Amino acid sequence: MKVVIIEDEPRAANRLEKLILEVEPSFTIVKKLESVKQAVAYFETQPQVDLIFSDIQLTDDLSFEIFKQIQISSPVIFTTAYDSYAINAFKANGIDYLLKPLSKEDVANAIQKFKTLTKPAAELNLSAIAELLASSNKQESVEYKTRFMVKVGQHIKSISINDVAAFYSKDKSNFLFTIDKRSYPIDQSLDQVAEVLNPETFFKISRSFIVRLNGISDIMAYSNSRLKLVIAGLENELIVVARERTKEFKAWLGE
């Protein structure tokens, strides 16, 4: 089985590839694509693959645009941190809809659903179809990280997620920033952190910042139609929403 991954975060793409191959070693990941533009260009010249795993929010647009611009018959398993795109996903060849952070069990269940749907018709039975429909309608519960362990000198401190105002990268290091205006170094990358945060509360505005909704004290217009944020205690940092994430950020704010 030939598989294509469409994911704009390299770490997330690599992790998904690892999970897929752990579940189904016979699969081959033939390509990893990062944007709508790359995906359209690829599928214009390449034969159809057996299965596509695709994130929904890509750097240049929602992945649904790929299927509007080019005809693709391959089934798609969509992955996203949000549950508001389910209807559109199933209109775009979607056979499953996985909420991040992904687990090995999530990927295994989705691949099993793919195998069931692609069996010859003679092998399908009514009970299998009923089970498949039931699993599609099941509400998945997602557990997000509630505490982070940080080092303070020789000591270990546990910080509640309710006390975190932001996460950021600076000088090749990553930090957790609290509402009482203290920064603590963390071992995880921002990509790894983003995967375990509740997307209703936190938003990754750029490669350098993840912000908490109630941690933002001001939002201002910035150059090239971008937005500049102010977080109390980080006024000296330039906190700018990446241009390709501005539209999604505004939707997250409730525009």
Q: Can you give the CATH number for the domain in which 209 is found?
A: 2.40.50.1020
Average pLDDT over residues 208-215: 94
State the pLDDT confidence band at 13, using cuts at 50, 70 and 90.
Answer: very high
Q: Are residues 43 and 157 in the same domain?
A: no
Closest of 111, 102, 109 to residue 29, by C-alpha: 111
In angstroms, the CA 247 to CA 241 distance is 10
Average pLDDT over residues 123-147: 60
Question: Is the pLDDT assigned to residue 124 strictly greater than 60?
Answer: no
In angstroms, the CA 241 to CA 24 distance is 38
Q: Are residues 155 and 131 in the same domain?
A: no
67, 92 in Cβ contact below 8 A?
A: yes
More confident residue, 153 or 227: 227
In angstroms, the CA 113 to CA 111 distance is 5
In angstroms, the CA 20 to CA 77 distance is 12
In angstroms, the CA 5 to CA 52 distance is 6
Query: What percentage of the chain reaches a pLDDT higher than 70?
Result: 85
* Omega before 101 within 30 of 0, i.e. cis: yes
Q: Residue 202: CB partners within 8 Å, gap ≥ 6?
A: 167, 194, 210, 211, 212, 213
More confident residue, 124 or 175: 175
pLDDT tens-digit readout, 150-189? 988 888 999 999 999 999 999 989 999 999 999 999 998 9
Averaged pLDDT score across all residues of the chain = 86
- 142 by DSSP, 3-state: which? coil
Q: Are residues 220 and 151 in the same domain?
A: yes
Q: Are residues 151 and 209 in the same domain?
A: yes
Question: Is the pLDDT assigned to residue 122 strictly greater than 50?
Answer: no
Q: Are residues 9 and 125 in the same domain?
A: yes
> Residue 228: exposed, middle, or buried by beta-carbon count in 10 A (0-12, 13-18, 19+)?
middle
Q: Are residues 246 and 160 in the same domain?
A: yes
Average pLDDT over residues 34-47: 92
**What is the pLDDT at residue 52?**
95
Q: Are residues 117 and 151 in the same domain?
A: no
Examine the fold and report which residue of 92, 112, 137 is the final residue of a domain before the chain moves on: 137
In angstroms, the CA 142 to CA 160 distance is 18
State the pLDDT confidence band at 87, using cuts at 50, 70 and 90.
Answer: low
**What is the pLDDT at residue 46?**
87
- The torsion defined by the Cα of 131, 20, 105 and 130, in degrees rounded to 10, comes to 0
- Is pTM beyond 0.75? Reply is no
**What is the pLDDT at residue 88?**
61
Instruction: Supply the range of the domain harboring residue 112.
Output: 2-137
State the pLDDT confidence band at 128, using cuts at 50, 70 and 90.
Answer: low
Question: Is the pLDDT assigned to residue 83 strictly greater than 70?
Answer: no
Examine the fold and report which residue of 71, 103, 137 is the final residue of a domain before the chain moves on: 137
Question: Is the pLDDT assigned to residue 139 strictly greater than 50?
Answer: no
**What is the pLDDT at residue 179?**
93
**Residue 142 forms part of a structural domain:** no
In angstroms, the CA 92 to CA 119 distance is 20
Q: Are residues 219 and 157 in the same domain?
A: yes
In angstroms, the CA 15 to CA 21 distance is 10
**What is the pLDDT at residue 15?**
93
